[in-house]
Amino acid sequence: MDQLCQAALDVRLRAHAPFSKFLVGAAIEDDQGRIHTGCNVENATYGLTVCAERVAVFKAISEGARKFRRIAVAADAPKLTPPCGACRQILWEFCGDVEITLVNLQGRTETLKLKDLFPRPFDDTFLG
């Protein structure tokens, strides 16, 4: 198993998901080869829940990373689980057309580019 996918699988076990019981882990590799991880953290209001992908990106940013090579997202579902819309937007803004590997507990993977999941993203080019 690739180190990035394994990191996403491992951090998934730290998720705080008492309501959905749907544990998700994400691992993002910066341009220096460092791996930053995140897991989903639920809140009783659901609206304040933060997904694993956003936790990983924000954690990496807070640790000084600014450029990213790839991200892995791990969940326990037979159907591989892609990032939600909010996460796709954050990934686009901070990572661009990054490579995303989806992985499940059975070891099934799929790798694609963010542009395949998010074909017409909104970004700063529309602001001015």
pLDDT for the residue 119: 94
How many CA atoms lie less than 13 Å away from 4 in the CB half-sphere?
Answer: 23
pLDDT for the residue 71: 98
Integer CA distances (angstroms), 93 to 54, 88, 90, in order: 11, 9, 5
DSSP conformational letter for 20: T
The packing angle between helices 3-12 and 52-62, to 10°, is: 110
**pLDDT tens across 38-73, in order?**
999 999 998 999 999 999 999 999 999 999 999 999
Report, as an integer, the average pLDDT of 102-107.
97
The rounded distance, in Å, linking the Cα atoms of 96 and 90 is: 9
**How much of the chain exceeds pLDDT 90, in percent?**
95
**pLDDT tens across 21-42, in order?**
999 999 999 999 999 999 999 9
Report, as an integer, the average pLDDT of 86-105.
97
Strands (E) across the chain are located at: 24-30, 35-39, 68-75, 99-104, 109-113
Q: What is the pTM of this model?
A: 0.95
**Active-site residue set:** 53
Question: Domain extents for the chain?
Answer: 3-126
Superfamily of domain 3-126: Cytidine Deaminase, domain 2 (3.40.140.10)
